Structure formats: structure tokens, C-alpha cells
């Protein structure tokens, strides 16, 4: 069974709600105020089945929108998810202001199929009806509703005239409507929230993608609350699941009506992220009252949400009427948006529709001045090209498939299939779950080697650079960086020793006076035994400057020729090895040793004894027990 959402559009009091009731038998005006005032204020909903040309059944959900200019914001909350529009024009009034504004909105939202319905045909004579038809044909010429491509049907909701022909026209029109992707990640923009006795919290909306099943977990965006689907209804009937393109009611557990509102969205948990910044392509209506200037504030409408946004034009100070431009929108409230989502912008004041466009990137890279060079790619239709652009722009950090799911809204299988060829030809390099472009991979290799070469040139007395410091200097992601090091080691271009990285074959390079100083430091501490001199005294007697002398000490410490026992005391390894032997020999006399005995054994003062005993504790040669040490 094919499910299609049909929306109405048109001027106030042109008979949209009456038409829906005549077709479905359902009064879409549900509010008491609507019935009292005789006008539609908020969204209304109805449904019906029609026989399809192939013998099957077409399941139609209707979204009836208000026509009054004061309620265009409500109209926008319902029209975003429709597949087919019934564009309603009253035969006794013809084209009116909201006829034009609603039609502008339909075109900006990319609605591509519809039927023009001339209502109240019983209120005019045949000659007047023909004149109105001609006016409408002229108005719609060159658009998606141009006749005869899109039919014009004259009906009377009062007498029923023309309704059967309209139903047949609807059946023919929806036969060509491509079903929405029920295999994509689910997104349900919420347009109604209410409590139902015996059930609790219920939300409704048009499921724009994916499938929602009973008992599955979903997440509310923005906000992040997790909810459980207790029940699903499609067009008023209980169902095990709802699929893309269906008007859907979901009974939720884990949230109250106070925690939900129109404009929020339900989606799978831990998959998406709400955003306040999007890159877009905007088209300003030719009928807009003025050009749109850089940093203007506008009202932003997408799916069922609305907020205020600031327009940041990328390459100009303003965009003229009828023109199209790339821009960044900074939203006043976070929302779950994805590439391909269409939106409407309305002038901040007075509030009228001035344009709209399409989201190109809902996870834009941070930048100060220039637009992302990939925006034109994102505006295209090549799925693989879009994914490759997203991978390339992450440079040395790479991007995971999970991140690509979040950015694109496509499932993992779709992404893997789209990039399979690029991975096979190594245009994309896979490192664990991270993906890098081949350009970034080769560029990172060159940068690592370049940073190391510069490090060795400026630090000849240091054998290598710390791994994390090297990664920070290259700006690489951790997973990609580890893979790059492994690759360069295999290519014998660098060496890794513990946490130090160096170019292969490049070690410490000493001048004659540096080599001589290293020898003097080594000999001074070796000769001193356990009664070592202060390090500053030894360094002060060298011919080289303090900075180079300290680097030589660091080298000796790294090679374990010297060991720093405390902040002030450094010992030669030969002295510490001899100390271990003495303590081991003392164990034959006693299993414990105190400070006094240690001083007598080594011939050192308390200044040396305490740090040395603490060193032996750390080395697990001894273990402190009260005021004595147990020899292990």
C-alpha cells in the first residue's frame, strides 16, 4: 500500500477545509475557535483510501493548512512534509494575496506535483468559471502546476460536482510520486502534542524518512531526552510500524507533554546532533520588498520548527531580489537539520515571506572569512562526491563513518557502498573506523617527516621528539597519527623508541666541546659514588652554555647513565648498582634496615640517605614498614 501526504494551500476562505471534508468525510477544523470563527487557524488532518490504477490501494493523509496571513507560520509547519498539493483557488474570487504567498512557499520548498482546484464552482456561471481558469493558467504558466502537465479541476464541495473527477486526478498524480525512503534513518517532525486519557503523551507528524516501530527507543531533538514508543497509529488505526510518507501518531513513554512542542523532532538515539549553524543556498523572491543584506535577521522555518536566524552572506554584502546565493545561517534555537532539508525565510518585520532555500551542510567547518569550497559539491546530486568532499575537508583528523551518518542522514550501508570504489583505489584511506583522503594521508606523512627534520636541526642534542608533541604539531587525529607512524616506520623513514620519535638514522649530533662536556659529567658523577656533587656545580664547570649542558644531562638521564633520585640529587648508574649489591649483601645479616644502619652501610649523611632509601622503595628493593625498611 502506497502512502502519500497531500497538502492544501491557498487564500483564506477559498474552501480548503470544506474540500478536504467533501473528499474524506472528516472535518479537519478541530479547534472550538475555528468552528466559532469559521476559519482555519491551525493545522488540520484527515485521511482516505483511493483505488490505484494498478489495482492496489493508495493511502492518502491530508494536511489542511490555514489561509489567513496571520497564520502563515502555522501553514509552514504543515506544508513541509507533503508529496502532493491541492492548490485551492475560489472561482468567485480568483487569485488573492495568500494565493501568491502560498504558491511562492510551495515553489521554494521544492513541491513538484500538484493539482489546481477551482472551488465554489457552483457560485459562478460557466463563463465566469472559464475566465477564472484562464487567469489561473496564466498565473501558473512555467511552474510545476502549469496546465496541462498539472490538471485544473473545478469542484463544488457543496453540491459534490467534480469531486469524482478530482479523486481520479489525485490517483493519477500520486502514481508518479516517488515513495519516501523508509530505509533511511527515521525523522518525525512533531506538529501536535497532546495527552490522551489512558495512553498518556501522544505526538503526531508526517514521517519524512525511515521507519518507526512499536517499542523502539527514540530521542527528542533538540534536548536529547530518550523516549520509548508505546504505540503507533497511522491514519487513525493501530499499527506495528509507520513508514516514511505516512501521517503518524506516536504514543510515547518517558516524557510528558510539557517536555515536547511543535518544532521538535524524533529520531534514532545517538545518531544525530542538533545544530545552531548551517550552510545553505538561499533564493530571494523577485517579489521581495528589498534586497537581503549581510547579517540581516530573518524568521526561519523548516519542517515544523521556526526560529530567528542571522544571515551571513559569504561573498557579498547583499543579495538582490530574484537572486540565489550561498550563505551561513546562525539559528537562534538549535534544531535537527540535514542536507537537503528545504526551508523558508520571512522578513523580520513586517513578517512576510521573502525567500527560501536548501540546507547544504548542517555540520559546517569553523571558518572566519571564506565559504567552504565544498558547498557547490554539497549542492549537487553526486552522493559519492559529497562524501569524498566531507572526508577531504577533515584533512589530517579524518572522519568516521558514524560521523558521516550524522552529517548526511544516510545509513552506514549507503555510505560504505558510495565510497567503496574510492577505498579500493586508495583515493580514500581507511584507518580503523576513520577515513582520510589520499591527499591528507600523503600530506600528513610529509608533515611528520618535515617536523622531525626541523626538530633534529634545532635540537641536535636531543635524540627525538615526544609522540604527543609531534602529533600536536602536525594537527593529526590520534588514530590517523598512530597509523602514519606505523607506516613511516615500515618505510624506514623514522624510528620510535618508547614515547620518542626520530628520523631513521638521525640521533644526537655533538660538537667537540659538547662531547667533552658529556664525558666530564659522566666522570664527575661516576667518581663521586653516593656522595654526589650538586648538579649545578658540575654544569658550572663546563665550557658550554647552560642550555646545551642541560640537554646533555637530559640525554644521560634518558640513556639511564644518570638517575634523578630527587629534585636535587642525581646519581650515576654505577653507584646505584653498587648500592643494590650492598643492600642485598646486608640481607644475609638482617632482613630489615633502618636509617642509621643505612648511613653506616653507605657512609653517607642523612641528606643522601633518605632520598636513596625512598628511591629503593620505588624500585621495590626495599619496603618501608614503620621506621625501618624490609629488604625484598
Q: Residues 244-301: pLDDT tens digits?
A: 888 899 999 989 999 999 899 999 999 999 999 999 999 999 999 999 999 999 999 9
Going by pLDDT thresholds of 50, 70 and 90, the confidence category of residue 499 is confident
> Residue 562 and residue 584: Cα distance in Å, rounded?
21
**How much is the average pLDDT of 97-111?**
89
Q: Is 590 a residue whose pLDDT tops 90?
A: no
> Residue 537 and residue 540: Cα distance in Å, rounded?
5
Selection from 86, 95, 94, 265 nearest residue 167 by Cα: 86
> Residue 218 and residue 208: Cα distance in Å, rounded?
15
- Which CATH number applies to 381-508: 1.10.3720.10, 1.25.40.10, 1.10.10.10, 1.10.390.10? 1.10.10.10
What is the homologous superfamily of the domain 188-267 according to CATH? Answer: Translation factors (2.40.30.10)
Burial of 443 (0-12, 13-18, 19+ CB in 10 A): middle
Same fold, 381-508 and 512-631: yes
Lowest mean per-residue pLDDT among 132-136, 252-256, 311-315, 542-546:
542-546
Q: Which fold has domain 275-377?
A: Elongation Factor Tu (Ef-tu); domain 3 (2.40.30)
> Residue 434 and residue 240: Cα distance in Å, rounded?
37
Please say whether the beta carbons of 451 and 459 come within 8 A: no
Lowest mean per-residue pLDDT among 347-361, 432-446, 480-494, 504-518:
504-518
> Residue 572 and residue 521: Cα distance in Å, rounded?
10
> Residue 386 and residue 382: Cα distance in Å, rounded?
6
Q: Is 37 a residue whose pLDDT tops 90?
A: no
> Residue 334 and residue 343: Cα distance in Å, rounded?
15
- Which CATH number applies to 2-175: 3.40.50.720, 3.60.15.10, 3.20.20.300, 3.40.50.300? 3.40.50.300
Burial of 260 (0-12, 13-18, 19+ CB in 10 A): buried
- Residue tagged 644502619 (cell numbers): 597
Task: Give the chain's length.
Answer: 632
> Residue 586 and residue 593: Cα distance in Å, rounded?
8
- Residue tagged 667518581 (cell numbers): 527
Domain boundaries, the chain: 2-175, 188-267, 275-377, 381-508, 512-631
Q: Is 39 a residue whose pLDDT tops 60?
A: no
Per-residue pLDDT reduced to its tens digit, 397-416: 889 999 999 999 898 999 99
Going by pLDDT thresholds of 50, 70 and 90, the confidence category of residue 593 is confident
> Residue 627 and residue 422: Cα distance in Å, rounded?
69
**Model-level pTM?**
0.76
Q: Is 67 a residue whose pLDDT tops 60?
A: no
Q: Is 40 a residue whose pLDDT tops 50?
A: no
Per-residue pLDDT reduced to its tens digit, 502-539: 887 666 555 667 667 777 777 778 888 888 887 777 77
Give me the residues paired with residue 16 across strands: none
The H or E element that residue 16 is part of is helix 16-24
User: What is the DSSP pairing of strand 247-253 with strand 226-234?
Assistant: antiparallel
What are φ and ψ of residue 287, in 5° steps? -90, 0
Q: Is 598 a residue whose pLDDT tops 90?
A: no
DSSP letters spanning 121-145? GGGS-HHHHHHHHHHHHHHHTTSTT
- Residue tagged 474552501 (cell numbers): 15
Lowest mean per-residue pLDDT among 104-118, 403-417, 448-462:
448-462
Please say whether the beta carbons of 295 and 248 come within 8 A: no
> Residue 130 and residue 124: Cα distance in Å, rounded?
10
512-631 maps to CATH 3.30.1330.100: no
> Residue 150 and residue 87: Cα distance in Å, rounded?
11
Please say whether the beta carbons of 460 and 509 come within 8 A: yes
Going by pLDDT thresholds of 50, 70 and 90, the confidence category of residue 42 is low
Please say whether the beta carbons of 170 and 194 come within 8 A: no
Selection from 265, 385, 388 nearest residue 334 by Cα: 265
Q: Output the 3-class SS for 312-325.
A: EECCCCEECCCCEE
The three cell numbers locating residue 132: 477564472
Mean pLDDT for all residues in the chain: 86
**How much is the average pLDDT of 542-550?**
74
What are φ and ψ of residue 97, in 5° steps? -55, -45
**How much is the average pLDDT of 458-467?**
76
Alpha helix ranges (H) inside 38-162: 72-79, 97-108, 126-140
Higher pLDDT, 478 or 219: 219
> Residue 246 and residue 230: Cα distance in Å, rounded?
18
Alpha helix ranges (H) inside 265-411: 375-378, 383-393, 401-408
Highest mean pLDDT (candidates 330-339, 548-557, 571-580): 330-339
Highest mean pLDDT (candidates 18-32, 530-544, 590-604): 590-604
**How much is the average pLDDT of 85-107?**
91
Please say whether the beta carbons of 193 and 220 come within 8 A: no
Amino acid at each position: 500500500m502506497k502512502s502519500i501526504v497531500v497538502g492544501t494551500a491557498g487564500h483564506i476562505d477559498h474552501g480548503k477545509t470544506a474540500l478536504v471534508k467533501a473528499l474524506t468525510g472528516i472535518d479537519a477544523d478541530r479547534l472550538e475557535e475555528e468552528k466559532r470563527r469559521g476559519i482555519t487557524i491551525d493545522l488540520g488532518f484527515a485521511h482516505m483510501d483511493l483505488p490505484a490504477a494498478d489495482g492496489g490501494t493508495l493511502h492518502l493523509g491530508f494536511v489542511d493548512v490555514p489561509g489567513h496571513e496571520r497564520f502563515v507560520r502555522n501553514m509552514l509547519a504543515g506544508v513541509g512534509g507533503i508529496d502532493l498539493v491541492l492548490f485551492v483557488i475560489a472561482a468567485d474570487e480568483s487569485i488573492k494575496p495568500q494565493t501568491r504567498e502560498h504558491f511562492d512557499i510551495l515553489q521554494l520548498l521544492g513541491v513538484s506535483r500538484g493539482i489546481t482546484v477551482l472551488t465554489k464552482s457552483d457560485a459562478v456561471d460557466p463563463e465566469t468559471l472559464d475566465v477564472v481558469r484562464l487567469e489561473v493558467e496564466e498565473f501558473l504558466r512555467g511552474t510545476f502546476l502549469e496546465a496541462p502537465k498539472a490538471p485544473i479541476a473545478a469542484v463544488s464541495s457543496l453540491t459534490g460536482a467534480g469531486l469524482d473527477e478530482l479523486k481520479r486526478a489525485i490517483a493519477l498524480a500520486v502514481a508518479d510520486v516517488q515513495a519516501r525512503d523508509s530505509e533511511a534513518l527515521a525523522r518525525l517532525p512533531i506538529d501536535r502534542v497532546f495527552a490522551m486519557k489512558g495512553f498518556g503523551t501522544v505526538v503526531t507528524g508526517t514521517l519524512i524518512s525511515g521507519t518507526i516501530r512499536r517499542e523502539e527507543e527514540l530521542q527528542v531533538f533538540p534536548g536529547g531526552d530518550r523516549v520509548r514508543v508505546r504505540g503507533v497509529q497511522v491514519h487513525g488505526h493501530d499499527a506495528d510500524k509507520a513508514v516514511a510518507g505516512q501521517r503518524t501518531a506516536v504514543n510515547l513513554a518517558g516524557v510528558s507533554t510539557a517536555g515536547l512542542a511543535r518544532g521538535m523532532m524524533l529520531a534514532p538515539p545517538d545518531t544525530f546532533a542538533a545544530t545552531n549553524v548551517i550552510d545553505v543556498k538561499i533564493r530571494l523572491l523577485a517579489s521581495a520588498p528589498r534586497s537581503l543584506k549581510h547579517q540581516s535577521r530573518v524568521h526561519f522555518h523548516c519542517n515544523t520548527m521556526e526560529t530567528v536566524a542571522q544571515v551571513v552572506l559569504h561573498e557579498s554584502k547583499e543579495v538582490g531580489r530574484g537572486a540565489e546565493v550561498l550563505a551561513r545561517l546562525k539559528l537562534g534555537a538549535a534544531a535537527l537539520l540535514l542536507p537537503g532539508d528545504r526551508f523558508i525565510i520571512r522578513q523580520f518585520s513586517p513578517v512576510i515571506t521573502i525567500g527560501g532555500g536548501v540546507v547544504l551542510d548542517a555540520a559546517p567547518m569553523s571558518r572566519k572569512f571564506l565559504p567552504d569550497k565544498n558547498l557547490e559539491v554539497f549542492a549537487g546530486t553526486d552522493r559519492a562526491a559529497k562524501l569524498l568532499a566531507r572526508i577531504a575537508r577533515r584533512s589530517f583528523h579524518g572522519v568516521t563513518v558514524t560521523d558521516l551518518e550524522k552529517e548526511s542522514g544516510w545509513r552506514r550501508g549507503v555510505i560504505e557502498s558510495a565510497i567503496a570504489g574510492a577505498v579500493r583505489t586508495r583515493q580514500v584511506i581507511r584507518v580503523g573506523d576513520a577515513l582520510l583522503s589520499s591527499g591528507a594521508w600523503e600530506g600528513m606523512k610529509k608533515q611528520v617527516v618535515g617536523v622531525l627534520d626541523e626538530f633534529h636541526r634545532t635540537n641536535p642534542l636531543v635524540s627525538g621528539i615526544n609522540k604527543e608533541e609531534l602529533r600536536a604539531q602536525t594537527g593529526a587525529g590520534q588514530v590517523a597519527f598512530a597509523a602514519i607512524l606505523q607506516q613511516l616506520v615500515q618505510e624506514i623513514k623514522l624510528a620510535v623508541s618508547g614515547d620518542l620519535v626520530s628520523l631513521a638514522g638521525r640521533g644526537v649530533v655533538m660538537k667537540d666541546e659538547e662531547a667533552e662536556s658529556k664525558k666530564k659529567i659522566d666522570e664527575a658523577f661516576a667518581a663521586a659514588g653516593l656522595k654526589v656533587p650538586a648538579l649545578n656545580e658540575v654544569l658550572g664547570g663546563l665550557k658550554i652554555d647552560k642550555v646545551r649542558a642541560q640537554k646533555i644531562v637530559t640525554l644521560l638521564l634518558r640513556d639511564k647513565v644518570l638517575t634523578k633520585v630527587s629534585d636535587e640529587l642525581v646519581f650515576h648508574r654505577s653507584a646505584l648498582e653498587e648500592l643494590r649489591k650492598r643492600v642485598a649483601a646486608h640481607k644475609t645479616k638482617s632482613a630489615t634496615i633502618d636509617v642509621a644502619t643505612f648511613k653506616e652501610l653507605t657512609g653517607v649523611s642523612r641528606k643522601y640517605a633518605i632520598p636513596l632509601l625512598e628511591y629503593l622503595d620505588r624500585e621495590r628493593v626495599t619496603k618501608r614498614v614503620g621506621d625501618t625498611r624490609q629488604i625484598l
